[in-house]
Chain A
Amino acid sequence: MGYSAFSLLKNALTGHRHWRPAWRDAAPQAQYDVVIVGGGGHGLATAYYLARVYGVRRVAVVEKGWIGSGYAGRNTTIIRSNYLLPGNIPFYELSMQLWEGLEQELNYNAMVSQRGVLNLYHSDAQRDAYARRGNAMRLHGVDAELLDRAAVKRMLPYLDFDNARFPIQGGLLQRRGGTARHDAVVWGYARAADRLGVDIIQNCEVTGIRSEQGRVVGIETTRGFIGAAKVGLAVAGNSSRLAAMAGLRLPIESHVLQAFVSEGVKPLIDTVVTFGAGHFYISQSDKGGLVFGGDIDGYNSYAQRGNLPVIEDVCEGGMALMPMIGRLRLLRHWGGIMDMSMDGSPIIDRAPVDGLYLNAGWCYGGFKATPGSGLSFAHLLATDTPHETATAFRLDRFGRGAVIDEKGQGAHPNLH
């Protein structure tokens, strides 16, 4: 059944008793053309585009928990395409354009809200860096506006403009950026993929990758062996663990990133704002909670919870930016595991084992990439060639010295 105003009305009149499950809870079959490991946004989007765009029919998504139980469901939902480097911009812009049409494409309300993303600058040097970034974006046809202090003041009068250490001088604004409802993105792709015949297999943990004569032939799971001509890994924070099952080491470390939600308040912050002098970013959810975060904790972790020093640091950043939030109470706070690549950019590539494909290294920015990552990974799985916007995301770029280092900082797993 398609969702529409009519279907909503019809079901309302019959007491909402006749809605059907949005996707089947499939049992594993013996053999597939493509098996995607990981039922997060990226895995489900990949399966959807494989079936929809590339006509691959026997596709399964294998998820150890329930779909969306990983980091797709734990992020702060910011979407944007304000990148600097040529290897990144076309890819993130493809993603942004897919976001803009996603709800019609999937017939699902993903609550995509282009409320703008504003990155503040606090010094002349930072203004120059943002001017350069904005120019790079515009050269690629992406919207970017460099705002001065007065323009930012008109938008967000409540910021601490005259902060003694970090006065606000202006900001780089991408109006097309914003937020989307993370769970709805997962559910929308799942429903659309399911309707095209994709099997979504939940509560099925992959425990091994089986190969014969150097070629992957399927996966070992807690629900038995599943044969596959091609296996794609889209397991975000767990990428190194899955790759190790095929004997690979990746240029990735897993780190914990924390996020926070305040008690609900009336509409207050109508955009996404980032503090440029520390690491703090904030937006407001439709329920009224302020959603904010900052840096990763900075040590390897699979623990899905962080420590107090970063909580303090994030809150200090928030207070330096907008002291008015100081009396709000924190309602929830959690941690998620990031697949931090060594240059801050992702990997969408064939693994050095035949039949195995990698989608990893998303750092703290993989949510916004969900549609583009799904399409590009599907392209790679279907055609064995990289999608035109993802040609730079090669696994061997590290050894070739062709890293995509947005921060210009060198090998370190704290970039994004």
Chain B
Amino acid sequence: MLIPCPHCGARLSEEFVCHGDATRQRPAYDASDEAWTDYVYLRDNPAGAHREHWYHAAGCHAWLVVTRDTRTHQIIGVEVAR
């Protein structure tokens, strides 16, 4: 799997660390237990397009949001995480 890093170009996936689902949003500190449980544990886990964090550990050290098809591993889009 090659991941096209916006800074470094297409690089082997082993240069990156995958940090999973990028759609989760950390709730406020005083949010309900349900909101925290949802954030920490529950996942959509789609078969298809999945937005996920990849960290370019052996490269530019940027955090990326990669959109990848979980059925084919095809990379649909890459942007720098913010």
Contacts and interface: CB of A to CB of B under 8 A. Distances in A.
Contacts of B18: 298-299
Contacts of B1: 307
Interface in A340-369: 342
Given A303-B70, A303-B73, A251 B42 contact: yes
Nearest to B2: A307
B31 interface: no
Interface residues of B, number: 26
Interface string B44-64: 111100101000000000000
- Determine the main DSSP class of A at the interface with B: mixed
Contact of A302 (B21, B37, B40, B70): B70
A303 B71 contact: yes
Given A298-B18, A309-B13, A398-B37, A303 B43 contact: no
A254 B12 CA distance: 22
Contact of B45 (A253, A299, A399, A411): A253
B42 A249 contact: yes
B34 interface: yes
A398 B33 CA distance: 11
Contacts of A253: 20-21, 43, 45
Chain A CB count within 10 A is highest, among B34, B45, B50, B71, for B45
Nearest to A243: B45
A67 B33 CA distance: 41
A252 B44 CA distance: 8
Given A249-B43, A303-B70, 7 more contacts: A241-B45, A298-B18, A300-B50, A301-B73, A302-B47, A303-B72, A398-B40
15 contacts: A240-B44, A240-B46, A241-B45, A244-B44, A249-B38, A252-B43, A252-B45, A254-B45, A300-B21, A301-B70, A302-B47, A302-B70, A303-B72, A342-B40, A398-B41
